[in-house]
Amino acid sequence: MTLQSVLDTIDRDLPQATERLLDLLRIPSISTDPAFKGDCDRAADWLVADLAELGFDARKAVTPGHPMVVAHSGTEGPHVLFYGHYDVQPVDPLSLWDRDPFDPQVEETAKGRVIRGRGSSDDKGQLMTFIEACRAWKAVHGTLPGRITIFLEGEEESGSPSLIPFMKENADELRADIALICDTGLFESRTPAIVTMLRGLAKCEVTVHAANKDLHSGMFGGLAINPIRVLTRILGGLHDDTGAVAVPGFYDGVKELPDAMRQQWQALAFDHASFLGDVDLSVPAGEQDRTPLEMIWSRPTAEINGIWGGYTGAGFKTVLPADAHAKISFRLVPGQDPDAVMAAFEAWFTPQLPADCAAEFKDVNGSPAGEMQISHPAFEKARLALSDEWEVPAAYVGCGGSIPIAGYFQTYLGMDAMLIGFGKDDDQIHSPNEKYDLDSFHKGIRSWARILDRLM
């Protein structure tokens, strides 16, 4: 039996595969809302039954939160673990949806056919690409490919509180040669990509305290210190005139991008003018000596995510507030320690406070960046497989966001992960009218079949 036979089966079975996805999408598995706990259970049961029908040894694993789905097949050959999540985001505001978010349909659009519904792209449609590839392989060969573990989570959209304890307790069962994660997308919606660099995150809320109560600005203005003025002055110096972060020690451990990777990124011909133009901006605001893709993928950042204090309602209340607040986050790159970054920020911030002011730092936490070792032979095999399917050279790319699961696989299971997804920039994940292109679903299934053929 040849790979072509598997691909032909995928093409022939696409209508049935789509119906199976629509069936899963009808389950409102919203993990953040306790009212949908039963639906999360139902989604896990649906997946266990589907995997068992394919020949996997599948089970629903109970956790303090929503259940995990764990399935195994095969005992010999290379061992891969596939990760996805079956929970979805809330649908609010419901009034902005063009249809019931849990009554999914295939729709015709100006850009082609799409699967419309909550979870279609994030992440039910993506995880089903892998399962459907296994289904086609089984139909052709009579057996599943190689040695596979499937690990599906039900709390990704609510912070994954049960994930790390479960991974620690079941490390021997979950550990594989490499992990596969399908929760990313195509580069600029057209180029297949393997994410090899993920930025980490460190964050906190800082409060500047001054007087013991709000003060009348006519009676105290000019004499009493205003904590909003203090906070904005200090945060105004968070970056220097070149766009670099001004906190001493912030760049400790940051490595330069290898020349080979920089050249590959340049070959992607990223149109930063269009990228910024889509949100009515035009000028890159980061480090002036870096390319736009470096700024997004391989350089650390510091951002003020929110700032408030005093009276912000309608009209005026002329007060000097007692407190001023800001939420600060840092996107981190490999080599940076989240704890060290937060300590450096506090050490930079606190000495700049004037007399009568004190700073309080709350909700201080972070996770490190992830960097995958593309020297692992699976990476190049997967890149070639993707290139064959999409007829465009697949690229190793970075990711400006943070996907903690990849780092957890490194930390707790000692294995790298390949992040391969088929979402597009306009899929509207987390927003009303989420969709997944039928072409992404179809070619995603074919892509995994090609990858499994090369890996196994």
- What's the CATH code of the domain at 211? 3.30.70.360
For the chain, the domain total comes to 2
**With pLDDT > 90 as the criterion, what percentage of the chain qualifies?**
91
Which residue type does 38 have? G
Task: Let me know whether 80 and 96 are in one domain.
Answer: yes
Task: Let me know whether 120 and 49 are in one domain.
Answer: yes
Report if residue 275 sits inside a domain: no
Contact 74, 100 (CB under 8 A): no
Task: Let me know whether 148 and 182 are in one domain.
Answer: yes
**ω into 123 cis (within 30 of 0):** yes
Q: How far apart are CA 67 and CA 30, in angstroms?
A: 13
Secondary structure of the chain as H, E, C letters: CCHHHHHHHHHHHHHHHHHHHHHHHCCCCECCCHHHHHHHHHHHHHHHHHHHHHCCEEEEECCCCCCEEEEEECCCCCEEEEEEECCECCCCCHHHCCCCCCCCEEEEECCEEEEECCCCCCCHHHHHHHHHHHHHHHHHHCCCCCEEEEEEECCHHHCCCCHHHHHHHCHHHHCCCEEEECCCECECCCECEEEEEECEEEEEEEEEECCCCCEEHHHHECCECCHHHHHHHHHCCCECCCCCECCCCCCCCCCCCCHHHHHHHHHCCCCHHHHHHCCCCCCCCCCCCCCHHHHHHCCCEEEEEEEEECCCCCCCCCEECCEEEEEEEEEECCCCCHHHHHHHHHHHHHHHCCCCCEEEEEEEEEECCEECCCCCHHHHHHHHHHHHHHCCCCEEEEECCCCHHHHHHHHHHCCCEEEECCECCCCCCCCCCCEEEHHHHHHHHHHHHHHHHHHC
Q: And the tokens for 73?
A: 């097949």
pLDDT at 130: 98
Average pLDDT over the chain reads 96
pLDDT at 403: 84
Task: Let me know whether 351 and 243 are in one domain.
Answer: yes
Cα dist. 178→200, 373, 417 in Å?
21, 11, 6
Is the per-residue pLDDT at 148 higher than 90? yes
pLDDT at 373: 87
Which residue type does 124 have? K
Using the 3D structure, point to which of 338, 366, 394 is the last residue of a domain.
366
pLDDT, tens digit (0-9, with 9 covering 90-100), for 43-101 = 999 999 999 999 999 999 999 999 999 999 999 999 999 999 999 999 999 999 999 99
Task: Let me know whether 328 and 374 are in one domain.
Answer: no
Provide the domain limits for residue 410: 3-198+369-455
Task: Let me know whether 96 and 212 are in one domain.
Answer: no
Q: How far apart are CA 50 and CA 135, in angstroms?
A: 10
CATH code at position 171: 3.40.630.10
Cα dist. 214→307, 311, 313, 315 in Å?
17, 10, 15, 17
Using the 3D structure, point to which of 313, 331, 366 is the last residue of a domain.
366
Task: Let me know whether 225 and 89 are in one domain.
Answer: no
Task: Let me know whether 121 and 161 are in one domain.
Answer: yes
Average pLDDT over residues 129-148: 97
How does residue 430 score in pLDDT terms, banded at 50, 70 and 90?
very high
Task: Let me know whether 76 and 168 are in one domain.
Answer: yes
Residue 75 CA, distance from chain mean position: 31
pLDDT, tens digit (0-9, with 9 covering 90-100), for 235-256 = 999 999 999 999 999 999 999 9
Task: Let me know whether 23 and 48 are in one domain.
Answer: yes
Q: And the tokens for 259?
A: 């020349």
Burial (CB count within 10 angstroms: exposed 0-12, middle 13-18, buried 19+), residue 177: middle
CA angle 421, 426, 431 (to 5 degrees): 100
Look at the block and give the residue holding tokens 């003018």: 273
pLDDT at 1: 63
Contact 455, 80 (CB under 8 A): yes
How does residue 402 score in pLDDT terms, banded at 50, 70 and 90?
confident
Q: How far apart are CA 374 and CA 376, in angstroms?
A: 5
Task: Let me know whether 84 and 45 are in one domain.
Answer: yes
Report if residue 159 sits inside a domain: yes
Task: Let me know whether 385 and 450 are in one domain.
Answer: yes
pLDDT at 404: 85
Q: What is the pTM of this model?
A: 0.87
Q: And the tokens for 371?
A: 């960097």
The region of weakest confidence among 31-45, 135-149, 154-168, 258-272 is: 258-272
Using the 3D structure, point to which of 336, 366, 396 is the last residue of a domain.
366
